[in-house]
Amino acid sequence: MNIGELEALLQDMTIEEKIHQLLQVNSSFYQTQGVLTGPQDTDRFSVRQLELAGSLLGTVGAGNLRKFQDIYLGTQPNKIPMMFMADIINGYKTVFPIPLGQGATFNPGLSKECACATAKESAASGIHVTFSPMVDLVRDARWGRVMESTGEDVYLNSCFAKAMVEGYQGEQVSEKGRIAACVKHFAAYGVPMAGREYNFSELSERSLREDYLLSYQAAIEAGVKLVMTAFQTLDRIPCSGNKKLMRETLRNEMGFQGVLISDWRAIYEMISHGFAENEKEAAKLALEAGVDIDMMSDIYVNQLTELIESGEVEESLLDEAVRRILMLKNELGLFENPYKDGSEEDEEALFLCEAHRSLARKAAGESFVLLKNEGILPLKKNEKTAFLGPYINDKNIVGSWTIFADEDHCVSIKEGVLNKVSSEYAVFSEGCNLLDPGTRFAGFRGIVDSSLQPNYSVHEEEALSMAASCENVVLCLGEHRQRSGEGGSIAEITLPVAQIEFLKKVTAVNPNVAVVLFNGRPLDLREVNQYAKAILIVWFPGSEGGNAIADVLYGDQIPSGRLPMSFPFCTGQIPVFYSEFSTGRPFVNQTDTRFASKYLDIQNEPLYPFGYGLTYTEFSYGKPEVSEESLTADAPLQLKVKVHNTGSCDAVETVQLYIQDMFASVVRPVRELKAFKKVEIKAGNSVTVEFEITEEMLRYYGIDMVYKSEAGWFTAYVGGDSRTKNSVRFQLV
Ligand code: BGC
């Protein structure tokens, strides 16, 4: 359809029809199967409203959605097709590592491939739009949704935001196997006060712009088709009714021209915030803010007619929203083919196909972070190892948001290990429960309750005697997968007590313990660190988790993941992140000084910093060298560093470049990640890695709130994690 035809269609539509294009509902209202990801009042909508609703969320399946579309089109006055959206976060049927794990790969290209495979599978299932990527910057591990982000760093997040959008959307969303992406949650949803879900965000304008908005900006520049509003208040205004944020910042300044969708019932929730007095005001505020789609509330459909008829809201605002929705449907090619790529045959061919499985195995392997290794890993295939802990047989290793995947298709650790070594050399017993007694919380689908879990502790003795009789122990511990994700805030980022007690008992009979840790967030690992000789973070690795874990444990894949979020020393240290600011009284090891910026009871440093991760070899760095001492806006400089693999196996190093602006018109972070490169270096060899430093990399919001660079001195740090001291100075003139 061309623009003229689209405008003509808009002119033909009645107000009723137009308003209903703005409504998005869940399939449960239509008595078909769907997944609920928020609260719902079942008899909220009339039959007529449901007949006319412009989009649907949470239902999948080529056959299912074709039938749905046919029935729907049968009642549409202007034959406008329905748009199908869903939360397809880290994979659809083939599941890739959770986004935080993907962040740990420091390999956005790989995430692009994962998003591309995800788009193919879900497009085959009739889906048009995914509510992904979530690019919210996260620095508070108490918040459950850190698992949906790629971490604490704005540059890393921006690289992943761009890659994921490109992976889903390709060149054109109308192409076969492509879906539209929706970046979320605008803005600064990742910084709820005290880590408590849906709580308010308070940020300075400078911090919002410099730390939080840039990853959404990267998604917009990559052409993302939709943006989702955040639930919470930012600067005390609910985002879904914040006209300045949405119209001035998002649309005018950041250049977003696509569809703005509210989060689940967020327009309605402005009443609970005490921001809108009633439903009518909520509708007016949201439409004036430029929110096009009302997800899961009846505010627009029940209020807009009267608001427009009374002249309180201009019809042109409604037209603007409808136009954007029609344009998206048009870009997806739905007017020509309302089913888009939905095809049972393609579903059959693509779901969990060989290519997607091997991509999932590669991505999972790359996402694992080796935090500690005192000579245990890699395991030898001809030495006997006891695999213990609640996760050895668990296939629930996909993370809380993977709502359409069937965990039966996941590879467990036991299966993965036995695919590699004979049962003579690998024995298995859980010996310990996942949840502590008395644990009970609501999950996505029903209640998680410790009294309902299998009781593995009855096999504790058997497990301990296995541990004693083996060369090594791999202890598979972690969080319940529903403990992180939406609504998964916790006040103590610790492992269940029973798991720690079991770890202690195991190490008492065999000290050669490697802990494999499943987690959706950074955890307080002090005790694990104390007792285990090795720690491998595997996040929630997805469909091929067990195979990928076995690959890394036995050295068939060399670990290369790096922490995308600092692992705090303890909960009280939160938020802790590497790009902090210098205080006037920095703490520099003067232990007997009171008047320094420090804690009396714990260290300032996190237990493991951002960018950290070991492998099965070691690297040493030469001193970085710059091609010139100074750069200008027109003449960037080159920085070179020689990296040497000093060990005996080939491996991949993630070379990280951080820059510190030494003096500026406002205080700058002690360092900021500006570039990184993953390089493969053969054992005993060296590689020279080059980075270009441009003036653009040095820009920030100065005292006048203008995003620009300032002449002066900078320090570039180059190394294997955010603590590196390996540095060189240069100047911007
Ligand atoms: C979440 C969104 C999600 C939406 C639809 C909300 O509760 O915050 O991230 O896309 O539900 O399921």
Residue 98 clears pLDDT 90, i.e. is over it: yes
Are the CB atoms for 431 and 502 separated by under 8 Å?
yes
Contacts of residue 143, defined as CB under 8 A and 6 or more positions apart, other chains included, come to: 190, 192, 195, 196, 197, 489, 521
Helix (H) or strand (E) holding 26: strand 23-26
Atom 2 (ligand 1): residue with closest C-alpha?
263
Ligand 1 probe mutation, 85, 445, 486, 489, most atoms within 8 A of CB: 486
For 707, phi then psi, to 5°, come to -85, 100
Let me know: does 676 contact 612? Beta carbons within 8 Å: no
Reduced to 3 states, what is the DSSP secondary structure of residue 713? strand
The H-or-E segment that residue 281 falls in is helix 279-289
Average pLDDT over residues 491-519: 98
Specify the pLDDT at position 588: 85
Report the phi/psi class of residue 284: left, alpha or beta, with left for phi > 0 and alpha for psi in -120 to 50. alpha
The answer on pLDDT for 432 being more than 80 is: yes
- The predicted structure's pLDDT at residue 585: 93
Per-residue pLDDT for 35 more than 60? no
User: What is the dihedral sign for C-alpha 456, 462, 464, 468?
Assistant: negative
C-alpha 467/C-alpha 429 separation (Å) is 10
The answer to whether the beta carbons of residues 487 and 144 sit under 8 Å apart is: yes
Summarize the confidence of residues 101-111 as an average pLDDT. Answer: 98
Q: Among 73-77, 527-531, 684-688, which stretch is predicted with the lowest mean pLDDT?
A: 73-77
Q: Tell me: pLDDT of 179 over 50.
A: yes
| Residue that has been written with the tokens 């018109």 in this structure | 665
Q: Is the dihedral of CA 421, 406, 478, 505 positive or negative?
A: negative
Q: Which atom of ligand 1 is nearest to the CA of 37?
A: 12
In sequence order, the β-bridge partners of residue 684 are none
Sheet architecture: strand order including 630-631:
630-631, 727-732, 712-719, 651-661, 672-681
Cα gap 366→97, rounded to integer Å: 10
Q: Whose C-alpha lies nearest to ligand 1, atom 10?
A: 131
Atom of ligand 1 nearest to the CA of 184: 9
Mean pLDDT of 597-618: 97
Helix (H, G, I), strand (E, B) or coil at 84: strand
pLDDT exceeds 60 at position 542 = yes
Q: Residues 378-384: what's their mean pLDDT?
A: 97
Beta-carbon contacts of 46 under 8 Å, excluding residues fewer than 6 positions away, are none
Instruction: Find, among 93, 90, 129, 130, the residue nearest to 113 by Cα.
Output: 90
Closest CA to 100 of 160, 154, 155, 142: 160
**Residue 314 pLDDT more than 90?**
yes
Q: Which residues' Cβ are closer than 6 Å to ligand 1?
A: 37-38, 57, 87, 131, 184, 263-264, 486
Judging by beta carbons within 10 Å of its beta carbon (0-12, 13-18, 19+), is residue 309 exposed, middle or buried?
exposed
- Provide the residue type at 567 as one letter: F
Res 107: pLDDT: 98
The CA distances from residue 389 to 77, 418, 498, in Å, are: 59, 16, 11
The structure tokens listed for 518 are 């499943």
Taking residues 616-637, what's their average pLDDT? 97
pTM: 0.97
For residue 403, how far is its CA from the centre of ligand 1 (angstroms)?
A: 12
Query: In this model, does residue 200 exceed pLDDT 60?
Result: yes
Whether 33 has a pLDDT exceeding 60, the answer reads no
Comparing CA positions, the residue from 133, 351, 157 lying closest to residue 227 is 133
> Ligand 1 atom closest to Cα of 131?
10
- What is the 156 CA–ligand 1 centroid distance (Å)? 23
Handedness of CA 284, 285, 288, 294 (dihedral sign): negative
CB 679 within 8 A of CB 633: no
pLDDT digits (tens, 9 = 90+) for 673-721: 999 999 999 999 999 999 999 999 999 999 999 999 999 999 999 999 9
The answer to whether residue 285 scores a pLDDT higher than 90 is yes
The type of residue at 313 is: V
403-422 tens-digit pLDDT: 999 999 999 999 999 999 99
Q: How far apart are CA 143 and CA 493, in angstroms?
A: 10
Average pLDDT over residues 524-543: 98
In the reported structure, the alpha carbon of residue 419 is separated from the centroid of ligand 1 by a whole-number distance in angstroms of 37
Of 560, 655, 561, which Cα lies nearest the Cα of 617? Answer: 560
d(CA 22, CA 259): 10
C-alpha 359 to ligand 1 mean position (Å):
27
What is the rounded CA–CA span in Å between residue 409 and residue 428?
20
- Listed residue (317, 269, 263, 326) closest to 289, CA to CA: 317
* Radius of gyration for the chain, computed over Cα atoms and rounded to the nearest angstrom: 26
DSSP state string for 106-157: T-HHHHHHHHHHHHHHHHHTT--EE---B------TTSGGGGGS--S-HHHH
37 C-alpha to center of ligand 1: Å?
Answer: 6
What's residue 593's pLDDT? Answer: 87
Mean of pLDDT values over 566-585: 97
Helix and strand element counts for the chain (H, E): 21, 29
Active site residue 263: yes
**Range scoring the smallest mean pLDDT among 29-38, 191-200, 346-355, 418-427:** 29-38
- The residue written with tokens 């919470």 in the block is 232
Name residue 152's beta-bridge partners: none
Is residue 112 within 8 A of residue 102, CB to CB? The reply is: no
Within 313-459, where are the H helices? 315-331, 344-350, 354-367, 413-418
- Residue located nearest, by CA, to atom 8 of ligand 1: 263
**The pLDDT value given to residue 41:** 59
Of the listed ranges 33-47, 48-62, 132-146, 415-429, the least confidently predicted one is 33-47
| Amino acid at the residue 375 | G
Is residue 172 over pLDDT 70?
A: yes
Distance CA 646, CA 487 (A): 45
Ligand 1 atom closest to the Cα of residue 189 is 8
State the distance from the centre of ligand 1 to the C-alpha of 50, rounded, in angstroms.
Answer: 20
Q: Whose CA is nearest to atom 6 of ligand 1?
A: 264
pLDDT digits (tens, 9 = 90+) for 2-16: 999 999 999 999 999
3-state DSSP of 309-324: HCCCCCHHHHHHHHHH
Ligand 1 atom at minimal distance to the Cα of residue 231: 8
pLDDT above 70 covers a percentage of the chain that reads 98
Tell me which residue of 38, 99, 176 sits closest to 484, measured CA to CA: 99
Cα–Cα dist 248/669, whole Å? 27
Amino acid type, 639: L
Average pLDDT, the chain: 96
Active-site residue, selected from the candidate residues 136, 153, 211, 263? 263
- CB-hemisphere CA count at 13 Å for 730? 27
131, 226, 227, 401, best to mutate for ligand 1 pocket (most atoms within 8 Å of CB): 131
- Mean pLDDT, residues 538-546: 98
Q: Could you tell me the distance, in angstroms and rounded to a whole number, from the CA of residue 425 to the centre of ligand 1?
A: 45
- Predicted pLDDT of residue 46: 86
Out of 182, 231, 264, give the residue to mutate to test ligand 1, the one with the largest number of ligand atoms within 8 Å of its CB. 264
CA distance 61 to 312: 42
Q: Within a 10 A sphere around the Cβ of 14, how many other Cβ atoms?
A: 11
